[in-house]
Amino acid sequence: MMNSVTVKQVSIGKFSGQEFTEVPDHVASEEPLEIRLEYGPAGQRTGRSLSVTMRTPGMDTDLVAGFLFTEGIIRTPSDVLGIDTPADNIATARLHPDLPFDMKKLERHFYTSSSCGVCGKTSIDAVKTAVCIRPGERQLRVRAETLYGLPETLRRAQATFDA
């Protein structure tokens, strides 16, 4: 049985010859997750966004704990008081007040990008962008023959990838 969090049913367009039909299909779910930290001594706690990553929803607490460990932020499970994962794709890790932590050591001064546009964002709010096409506006249509011909067109234009 498929997990409804990690797999979603969607409607896709299927071409067979010149005939187009809509059929159901199952796709892996992927969503951004903002990882935030709450750190510092008792009475002087600070909260800050640490990273945004893409993930398959479902095991966010484990993902955040593993991320903190591999980044060298924590060394043992007791370094984390808890990880809150409410809705809205945000997880907040509450570090132990006695854990020495310097956020400046984690600042990265390089440019990152991705085809989906998530990498390099610093918060979920930055990921959420306006939709370019408004409902009711004319939408771009591409003929099936054009789509079928794209692999060959790309091969001719990108000889490096023929090898």
pLDDT computed for residue 119 by the predictor: 59
Q: Is 116 a catalytic residue?
A: yes
What SS3 class is residue 41? coil
Architecture field, domain 31-124: Roll (3.10)
Where are the chain's structural domains?
Answer: 31-124
What are 21-76's pLDDT values in tens digits? 899 998 888 888 999 999 999 999 999 998 888 888 888 999 999 999 988 899 99
97 pLDDT higher than 90:
yes
pLDDT computed for residue 156 by the predictor: 86
Task: Lowest mean pLDDT of 9-13, 31-35, 48-52, 116-120, name the range.
Answer: 116-120
Q: Which of 5, 7, 81, 116 is catalytic?
A: 116
Average pLDDT over residues 98-123: 67
pTM: 0.64
Task: State the pairing for strand pair 7-16/19-28.
Answer: antiparallel
Average pLDDT over residues 9-15: 87
Q: Is the dihedral of CA 109, 30, 35, 124 positive or negative?
A: positive
